Amino acid sequence: MFTGIVECMGKVVEFTRLDTTAAGGNGASLAISEARSILGDCHLGDSIAINGTCLTVTEFSEDTFKVGLAPETLNRTNLGTLQAGDSVNLERALAAGHRFGGHFVQGHIDSTANIIEIKPEDNSVWYKLQVDDPKLMPYIIPKGFIAIDGTSLTVCDVNDDEHWFTIMMIAYTQTHVVMPTKSVGDRVNIEVDMLGKYVEKVTTSILRGSSDADGSSTSSYIEKVVEKVLQKTK
């Protein structure tokens, strides 16, 4: 679990499509440097979010660490397009007892979004992003949460028909995340608010009359409750 509060920005050392080393596991891997500030308490197997993607540390030193990338990760995120020297957002998994400053972020990227407009306003910047997967639009609501490359941000405007939304980034955030290095046409990772997904699943199950654990129909249960209420009003 993460919060979307980026701890530091690292640099890509190398993206390897087929890493035959022990740490690479005969698959794709990504090595990140300039991460000293988050590696002091690191252990093999720890989770670190890179551009919002929860990944497992397979090797590390004082300043650098490596993670493996599964095919699903490469298909769903922008990590496969990274090149040496690119900056990335980094966040360690949330530790118990720490202040929770962002929102619930799983590090499970839903899709990518294309930056279609960047517009400064005073010392802030507007970003308009078009979602690659339109099915995610129901979970993107004005003033709701969204994680963009692992950064917890507030949604401003939403256009469901054209599949875009906007966010505004304040000056402080601009200096602590990778978003300002992006240009129109670049793709970013997005993770929608997971609470919206759970609410949808529960309400959909109820409306469809799915079965409860004891086998009774949820719709039947609701009918009984309504019937009792009506009896009391007679």
Q: What are the pLDDT digits (tens) for 163-199?
A: 999 999 999 999 999 999 999 999 999 999 888 888 8
Residue found by looking up tokens 């309504």 in the block: 226
Percentage helix, strand, coil for the chain under 3-state DSSP, each rounded to 5: 25, 40, 35
Catalytic residue check, 113? no
The DSSP output letter for 24 is T
* C-alpha to C-alpha distance for 184 and 106, rounded to whole angstroms: 27
Residue 103: the pLDDT is 82
Catalytic residue check, 70? yes
Segment (H or E) for 221? helix 218-233
Q: pLDDT at residue 1 above 90?
A: no
Q: pLDDT at residue 224 above 90?
A: no
- For the chain, what is the radius of gyration of the CA atoms? 21
Question: What mean pLDDT do residues 73-84 have?
Answer: 95
Of 21, 70, 203, 216, which one is the catalytic site residue? 70
Q: pTM here? A: 0.84
Catalytic residue check, 56? yes
Sign for the CA dihedral angle at 124, 126, 132, 134 comes to: positive
Cβ neighbours for 47, distance < 8 A, ≥ 6 positions apart: 54, 55, 56, 57, 92, 93, 107
* C-alpha to C-alpha distance for 202 and 153, rounded to whole angstroms: 26
Of 20, 21, 37, 56, which one is the catalytic site residue? 56
Of 28, 54, 113, 147, which one is the catalytic site residue? 54
Of 16, 33, 47, 87, which one is the catalytic site residue? 47
Catalytic residue check, 2? yes
Predicted confidence band at 232 (pLDDT cuts at 50, 70, 90)? Answer: confident
Of 20, 37, 61, 154, which one is the catalytic site residue? 154
Catalytic residue check, 154? yes
